[in-house]
Amino acid sequence: MLVLFLPEPRLATPLLATDEPLCETGKLACGNGDCIEKELFCNGLPDCSDGSDENACTVDRDPNRAPPCDQTQCVLPDCFCSPDGTQIPGRLEPSSVPQMITITFDDAVNNNNIIVYERIFKEGRNNPNGCSAKGTFFVSHKYTNYSAVQELHRKGHEIAAHSITHRNLEKYWTDASLDTWAKEMAGVRLILERFANITDNSIVAALESRRQRSIFHDGRTSFCTILPSTSLSNPPLAIHPCTSECP
């Protein structure tokens, strides 16, 4: 039997490096020669008709990447940068600076992964202050074993809401109404409280905007700040760092 392996179709790439400019100032060329605004490249949406504006978005090729660190221009107290990412303000030695590590997991908790979690947080794995290591689990409803979630909570791990359906389509969440968000996030919290028997109002929610947070004006939900677009200005509810404190 003859088996043929066909090569994957080659993705179109933009024309970023040419001998002569192809577009007016402020615009760059798509793979087919069309010119679009530079800001539209690597924004997560295909704006070129051939989709090439999203096919050259590595750290070294993204036309909208941050400029190289210039330590002569970026100076404290207003700015600090490290060319190799290892320098600490004040020339402190990394070995003498506390390293803060947040351990989080998302999606279902069940027999496929609970053993892994037990190994990660095995007895004797402590912080320098003697507190045992803890994690935050963003739990979605589908495939979850709630007795395992209850056990994680009993051991002091933080449990967070991560939707009921766990839809993978970004557009679903971007366009979702407040009612949809309420059903997805408040709904999974209620499921967690009931089936994992979490009755101490400790379940947190990580939401992206104040519009989404407004569905939880119930005095029972804290919000963690792991999402970069979360506004910290005058938050209407308590802000929580998404990491359980040591007693």
Q: Which segments of 102-184 does DSSP mark as H helices, in order?
A: 114-120, 146-154, 170-174, 178-181
200-219 average pLDDT score: 57
**Band of residue 159 on the pLDDT scale cut at 50, 70, 90:** very high
- Domain annotation for the chain: domains and CATH numbers: 7-65 (4.10.400.10), 98-223 (3.20.20.370)
Q: What's the confidence (pLDDT) of residue 7?
A: 59
Task: Kindly state the percentage of the chain with pLDDT values over 70.
Answer: 79
Residue with tokens 């704006």: 47
Q: What's the confidence (pLDDT) of residue 227?
A: 34
Q: What is the dihedral of CA 87, 89, 93, 99, to 10 degrees?
A: -90
- pLDDT greater than 90 at residue 157: yes
Q: Work out the number of other CB atoms within 10 angstroms of the CB of residue 117.
A: 19
User: How many CA atoms are closer than 13 Å to the CA of 241, on its beta-carbon side?
Assistant: 8
**Both tokens assigned to 180:** 């949809």
Q: How do residues 11-70 score in pLDDT, each as one tens digit?
A: 899 998 888 889 999 999 999 999 999 999 998 889 999 999 999 898 888 999 888 888
From the list 243, 180, 172, 171, the residue with the least C-alpha distance to 212 is 180
Of 124-128, 151-155, 201-205, the range with the lowest mean pLDDT is 201-205
Q: Is the pTM of this model over 0.75?
A: no
**Both tokens assigned to 2:** 């003859």
d(C-alpha 111, C-alpha 145), whole Å: 7
Q: How do residues 78-123 score in pLDDT, each as one tens digit?
A: 888 888 878 888 888 888 888 888 899 999 999 999 999 999 999 8
CA 238 to each of CA 5, 10, 72: distance values in angstroms, whole numbers, following the listed order: 56, 49, 40
Question: Cis peptide leading into 63, omega within 30 of 0?
Answer: no
Q: What's the confidence (pLDDT) of residue 232?
A: 35
Q: What's the confidence (pLDDT) of residue 149?
A: 95
d(C-alpha 65, C-alpha 160), whole Å: 33
Q: Of 80-89, 119-128, 150-159, 221-230, which one has max mean pLDDT?
A: 150-159
Task: Kindly state the percentage of the chain with pLDDT values over 90.
Answer: 34
d(C-alpha 134, C-alpha 110), whole Å: 18
Q: What average pLDDT is seen over the chain?
A: 80
Across the chain, where does the E strand assignment appear? 27-29, 35-37, 104-106, 136-139, 158-161, 204-205, 222-224, 239-240
